[in-house]
């Protein structure tokens, strides 16, 4: 079956190639968290701990064992799917990630979709009409988008739309407290609420999402719009477009079928990059909007040297990016048939 | 209209129930106005069991609101507005009455006969014993706190019958009864806990971590770590006056700016532990309670392990150089109490107290000239990045002032995770800022932690034989003992002369309320939800 389908075989090969990456991530994240300054036993022993109770805490956390032994215990647990217990949240890391990763992904994806919907047409328009007001508008939005830090845009949006105008809902996280969480299926509230047919909650969740997603979208707009514009300009000035025009094809066909499709490759590459840094930039937006996402979780875990949580986070991110890269590669072949997957 | 269910009727019914469903999923919107109170805080509740290793400070509130202790403290008017707990008055909670034997070594508690756990079972002395055994056995913070009241071993606790509980002490101590009113010695449903205990986990740590089993005023209705905790009132509570509010939502909002916007708009009723700056600015708009934290002082600590600080003139020069008023305004926005410019003569045992020092650069220069270091020296001033909001402005002002008397200060910022190890455990920071606050509100308790050699918060490596002796003598002595006051005043005199800690100011705990009243300050600096009311 594998031989019959070269694409499947290539995909499997690509997945196999990512195994060493994941192993490397496991080792490095383990060593790096141990190299962090600070002694978690002292931190978690509490406010009025004495030397004896700090030692008891250290033993309870298994930190009195040699490093190599700790590593093998960790790997052993990992092999059984146990990511360990987070001390900051008091729950298993796997449960925390299952709860918080979808929250971050929902926010990031909504922001990204919003950004694409605005940025791609804006980029195309700017490229087809260089030097006009559209081009200038594109430039202004893009410059403003990158130059305003997300926490600032976030607080500004809250100030205007919540505090002054009162049209945005309270920035209290994913759902106002009057709603109950939808049953956990995917962890994406919009999808879960829709699956239950609970449109009341769906609207509540969507409302909460608008401001943070806008904040993040403003930030991610810039690279997408700039890249679309640049790629479109290159495509529009290529020989095959001149040929198409000379052949008398309609300007619509030329623009969308020939120029845009060719310009898509760099845009998709940028999207992959933007997605990864948006997931990182999330942390500030999460803090401002009390969004219970993965970014704020990781930062809090780092601050107190919560080893299991940090390792779980790094591992989850690594797996996510391996999957993302694979998806982008597959998307390439779909966009441009000239890119042979198996030849790579 | 017929009563038969045909296809058309059936579809109608379906449509009707479908349209009702969403409303069932959401709490009634009207509930928000009448019996639900929303609190926002920046801290994470990471366990519902205070006895667990790694339980965060914010989680202590579950111990207060969901569990009962034998006794509690009374209520008084607080400095800076609002109410405060009253250390002087002990009130019954689970215990109806108690007696002390003449030698003070045996305490006998009579439990309320109508007290029940949430599952309806009567609270018995056996539950109290099991809970106390657990607190002294699990190690870590609860065990240390129990020890402060002389409660160290399970054999000290005896359940005589269902309603009589006896504590045997090794020595009489004035700290024992107050220590029973702190959050740690709360009473758990031992039958429910034991049913969920395992061989590896005899104290049911895993079960009680997520499932409280108490008799307290509020039950936990929902808990999502990192997001929210919802309390639901226990209508059968007998520990005190039944709370006015049916449901309390504790919502976690990390950004102080967002918390401020929420409480200012009135969408939440209480913003707990807001920054001093917000408190100063919001005070004119809504109710702000800034209660000075009892038995807590922000200090500048010169470490005796660093040679120049062994010179008494150098320490005094620093105490006269520190720009107290500027620090109080820049770091605390005037919230809290000044700790400088007091009388040198000590006539009372109030603590924290104003020191005899004040800002006088000329005097500081004279003292430096008289010291062994007339040309000054270099020293790093260490601060914690976690506490940067008050430490950073303070450090900058100290740096500037000490520069004037020839001490070159370099500010060293230490990551939060590393701070406690460096300052308290290794005690290796030559000059640093520190802010110990004692739960039990007596001066001797403060001295025990902060001035006795080797103790955790004595980050200056200070040792004075007389202070050691006096602290040991006064720690368990009743406060009305005629010897107590003179000894305490002598302790004040020594440490304020020797200055291992230079007091800067007493910080405040700031709480903003918009639409709620009845807020009460507690030494544990967590929100007691029980006396709150909506306005």
Pairs of CB atoms within 8 A across A/B: 183
Q: Say yes or no: B348 and B484 in one domain.
A: yes
Element (H, E) at B157: strand B157-161
pLDDT at position B32: 45
pLDDT tens for each residue of A284-326:
889 889 898 888 888 888 877 788 888 899 888 888 888 888 8
Considering the domain boundaries, does residue B286 fall inside one? no
Considering the domain boundaries, does residue B271 fall inside one? no
Q: Say yes or no: B332 and B239 in one domain.
A: no
| Rounded CA separation B363/B177 (Å) | 46
Q: Say yes or no: B255 and B311 in one domain.
A: no
What integer is the mean pLDDT of A90-96? Answer: 87
Q: Is the pLDDT of residue A257 over 70?
A: yes
Give chain A positions within 8 Å (CB) of B415.
Answer: 37-38, 303
Chain B window 5-64: which residues touch A at a Cβ cutoff of 8 Å? Answer: 18, 21-23, 25-27, 29, 31-32, 38, 40, 44, 46-47, 52-57, 59
pLDDT at position A88: 79
- Å from B347 to nearest chain A CA? 30
Give chain A positions within 8 Å (CB) of B523.
Answer: none
Give chain A positions within 8 Å (CB) of B251.
Answer: 172-173, 177, 290
Q: Is the pLDDT of residue A150 over 90?
A: no
The domain that contains B119 carries what CATH number?
3.40.190.10
Considering the domain boundaries, does residue B33 fall inside one? no
CB contact (8 A) between residue A88 and residue B255: no
Q: Say yes or no: B93 and B225 in one domain.
A: yes
Q: Is the pLDDT of residue A43 over 80?
A: no
Q: Say yes or no: B468 and B525 in one domain.
A: no
**Total number of domains constituting chain B:** 2
Chain B CA closest to residue A57: B140
pLDDT tens for each residue of B446-490:
999 999 998 889 999 999 999 999 999 999 899 989 999 999 999
Q: Say yes or no: B381 and B501 in one domain.
A: yes
Higher confidence at residue A50 or residue B114? B114
Which structural domains are found in chain A, ordered by start? 17-79 (no CATH), 99-335 (1.10.3720.10)
Which of B206, B226, B523 to mutate against chain A (most A CBs within 10 Å)? B226
Considering the domain boundaries, does residue B144 fall inside one? yes
Considering the domain boundaries, does residue B383 fall inside one? yes
Higher confidence at residue B9 or residue A172? A172
pLDDT at position A14: 78
pLDDT at position A47: 64
Considering the domain boundaries, does residue B154 fall inside one? yes
Q: Is the pLDDT of residue A4 over 80?
A: no
CB contact (8 A) between residue A53 and residue B143: yes
Give chain B positions within 8 Å (CB) of A43.
Answer: 417, 420
pLDDT tens for each residue of B159-216:
999 999 999 999 999 999 999 999 999 999 999 999 999 998 999 998 999 999 999 9
Give chain B positions within 8 Å (CB) of A201.
Answer: 22, 25-26
For A181, B39, B63, B91, B250, the CA distances from B216, given in Å and listed in that order, are 27, 19, 9, 15, 17
pLDDT at position A49: 67
The domain that contains B484 carries what CATH number?
3.10.105.10
Q: Say yes or no: B234 and B349 in one domain.
A: no
Which of A40, A48, A88, A202 to mutate against chain B (most B CBs within 10 Å)? A48
What integer is the mean pLDDT of A176-201? Answer: 84
Q: State the pLDDT confidence band at A343, using cuts at 50, 70 and 90.
A: very low
CB nearest A163 (choices: B140, B261, B418): B261
Is the CB of residue B296 less than 8 Å away from at least one CB of chain A?
no
CB contact (8 A) between residue A61 and residue B53: yes
pLDDT at position B14: 41
CB contact (8 A) between residue B251 and residue A54: no
3-state secondary structure chain A: CCCCCHHHHHHHHHHHHHHHHHHHHHHHHHHHHHHCCCCHHHHHCCCCCCHHHHHHHHHHHCCCCCHHHHHHHHHHHHHCCCCCECCCCCCEHHHHHHHHHHHHHHHHHHHHHHHHHHHHHHHHHHHHCCCCHHHHHHHHHHHHHHHCCHHHHHHHHHHHHHHHCCCCCCCCCCCCCCCCCCCCCCCCHHHHHHHHCCHHHHHHHHHHHHHHHHHHHHHHHHHHHHHHHHHHHHHHCCHHHHHHHHCCCCHHHHHHHHHHHHHHHHHHHHHHHHHHHHHHHHHHHHHHCCCCCHHHHHHHHHHCCCHHHHHHHHHHHHHHHHHHHHHHHHHHHHHCCCCCCCCC
Higher confidence at residue A35 or residue B84? B84
pLDDT at position B34: 60
Q: Say yes or no: B66 and B205 in one domain.
A: yes
Domain that holds residue B444: 298-506
Considering the domain boundaries, does residue B316 fall inside one? yes
Chain centre distance of CA B179: 13
- Å from B51 to nearest chain A CA? 10
Give chain B positions within 8 Å (CB) of A54.
Answer: 425
pTM over 0.90: no
CB contact (8 A) between residue B141 and residue A53: yes
Least confident of A53-57, A263-267, B445-449: A53-57
Considering the domain boundaries, does residue B10 fall inside one? no
Q: Say yes or no: B256 and B309 in one domain.
A: no
- Å from A45 to nearest chain B CA? 6
Give chain B positions within 8 Å (CB) of A215.
Answer: none
Q: Say yes or no: B427 and B470 in one domain.
A: yes
Higher confidence at residue A172 or residue B39? B39
Q: Say yes or no: B230 and B333 in one domain.
A: no
Which of A46, A205, A212 to mutate against chain B (most B CBs within 10 Å)? A46
Per-residue DSSP letters for B449-494?
Answer: HHTSTT-TT-TT----HHHHHHHHHHSSS-TTSTTHHHHHHHHHHH
Report residues of chain B scoring pLDDT below 70.
Answer: 1-34
pLDDT tens for each residue of A130-141:
888 888 888 888
pLDDT at position B134: 95
pLDDT at position B12: 44
Q: Say yes or no: B347 and B223 in one domain.
A: no
């Amino acid at each position: 079956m594998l031989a019959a389908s070269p694409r499947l075989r290539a995909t499997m090969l690509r997945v196999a190639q990512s195994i060493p990456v994941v192993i490397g991530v496991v080792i490095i994240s383990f060593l790096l968290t141990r190299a962090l300054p600070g002694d978690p036993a002292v931190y978690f022993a509490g406010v009025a701990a004495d030397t004896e109770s700090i030692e008891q805490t250290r033993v309870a956390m298994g930190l009195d064992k040699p490093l190599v032994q700790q590593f093998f215990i960790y790997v052993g647990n990992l092999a059984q799917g146990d990511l360990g217990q987070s001390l900051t949240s008091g729950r298993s890391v796997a449960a925390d990630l299952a709860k918080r990763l979808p929250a971050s992904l929902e926010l990031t994806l909504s922001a990204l979709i919003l950004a694409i919907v605005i940025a791609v047409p804006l980029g195309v328009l700017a490229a087809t009409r260089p030097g006009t007001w559209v081009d200038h508008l594109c430039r202004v939005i893009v410059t403003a988008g990158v130059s305003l830090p997300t926490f600032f845009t976030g607080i500004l949006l809250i100030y205007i739309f919540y505090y002054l105008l009162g049209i945005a809902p309270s920035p209290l996280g994913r759902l106002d407290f009057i709603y109950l969480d939808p049953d956990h299926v995917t962890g994406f509230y919009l999808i879960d609420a829709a699956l239950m047919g609970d449109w009341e909650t769906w609207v509540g969740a969507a409302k909460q999402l608008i401001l943070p997603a806008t904040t993040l979208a403003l930030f991610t707009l810039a690279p997408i719009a700039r890249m679309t514009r640049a790629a479109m300009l290159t495509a529009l000035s290529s020989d095959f477009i001149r040929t198409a025009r000379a052949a008398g094809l309609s300007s619509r066909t030329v623009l969308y079928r020939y120029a845009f499709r060719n310009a898509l490759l760099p845009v998709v590459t940028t999207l992959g990059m933007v997605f990864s840094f948006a997931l990182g930039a999330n942390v500030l937006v999460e803090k401002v909007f009390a969004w219970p996402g993965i970014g704020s979780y990781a930062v809090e875990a780092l601050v107190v040297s919560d080893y299991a949580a940090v390792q779980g986070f790094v591992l989850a991110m690594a797996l996510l990016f391996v999957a993302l890269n694979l998806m982008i590669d597959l998307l390439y072949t779909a966009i441009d048939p000239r890119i042979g997957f198996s030849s790579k | 209209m017929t009563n038969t269910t045909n296809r058309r009727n059936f579809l109608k019914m379906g449509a009707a129930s479908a349209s009702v469903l969403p409303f069932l999923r959401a709490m009634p919107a009207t509930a928000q106005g009448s019996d639900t109170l929303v609190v926002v805080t920046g801290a994470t509740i990471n366990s519902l069991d205070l006895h667990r290793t790694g339980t965060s400070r914010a989680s202590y509130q579950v111990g207060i609101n969901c569990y009962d202790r034998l006794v509690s403290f009374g209520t008084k008017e607080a400095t800076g507005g609002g109410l405060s707990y009253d250390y002087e008055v002990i009130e019954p909670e689970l215990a109806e009455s108690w007696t002390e034997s003449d030698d003070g070594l045996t305490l006998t508690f009579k439990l309320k006969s109508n007290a029940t756990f949430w599952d309806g079972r009567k609270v018995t002395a056996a539950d109290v014993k099991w809970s106390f055994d657990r607190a002294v056995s699990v190690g870590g913070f609860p065990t240390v706190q129990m020890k402060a009241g002389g409660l160290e071993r399970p054999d000290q606790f005896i359940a005589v019958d269902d309603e009589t509980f006896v504590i045997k002490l090794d020595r009489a101590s004035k700290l024992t009864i107050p220590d029973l009113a702190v959050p740690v010695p709360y009473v758990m449903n031992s039958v429910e806990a034991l049913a969920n205990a395992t061989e590896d986990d005899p104290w049911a740590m895993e079960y009680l971590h997520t499932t409280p089993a108490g008799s307290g005023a509020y039950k936990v209705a929902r808990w999502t770590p990192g997001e929210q905790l919802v309390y639901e009132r226990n209508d059968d509570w007998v520990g005190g006056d039944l709370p006015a509010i049916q449901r309390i939502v504790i919502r976690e909002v990390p950004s102080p700016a967002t918390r401020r916007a929420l409480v200012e708009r009135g969408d939440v009723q209480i913003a707990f532990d807001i920054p001093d700056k917000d408190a100063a600015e919001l005070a004119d708009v809504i109710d702000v309670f800034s209660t000075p934290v009892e038995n807590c002082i922000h200090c500048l600590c010169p470490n005796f392990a660093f040679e120049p600080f062994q010179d008494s003139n150098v320490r005094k020069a620093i105490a006269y150089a520190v720009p107290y008023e500027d620090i109080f305004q820049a770091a605390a926005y005037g919230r809290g109490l000044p700790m400088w410019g007091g009388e040198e003569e000590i006539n009372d045992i109030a603590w924290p107290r104003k020191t005899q020092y004040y800002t006088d650069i000329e005097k500081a220069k004279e003292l430096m000239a008289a010291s062994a270091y007339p040309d000054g020296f270099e020293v790093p001033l260490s601060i914690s990045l976690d506490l940067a909001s008050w430490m950073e402005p303070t450090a900058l002002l100290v740096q500037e002032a000490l520069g004037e008397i020839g001490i070159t200060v370099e500010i060293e910022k230490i990551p939060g995770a590393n701070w406690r190890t460096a300052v308290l455990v290794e005690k290796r920071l030559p000059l640093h800022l520190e802010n110990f606050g004692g739960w039990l509100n007596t001066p001797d308790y403060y001295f025990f932690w902060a001035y006795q050699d080797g103790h955790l918060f004595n980050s200056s490596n200070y040792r004075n034989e007389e202070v050691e002796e006096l602290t040991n003598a006064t720690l368990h002595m009743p406060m009305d003992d005629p010897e107590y006051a003179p000894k305490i005043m002598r302790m004040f005199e020594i440490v304020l002369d020797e200055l291992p800690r230079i007091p800067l100011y007493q910080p405040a705990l700031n709480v903003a309320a918009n639409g709620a009243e009845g807020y009460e300050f507690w030494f544990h600096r967590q929100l007691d939800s029980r006396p709150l009311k909506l306005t």
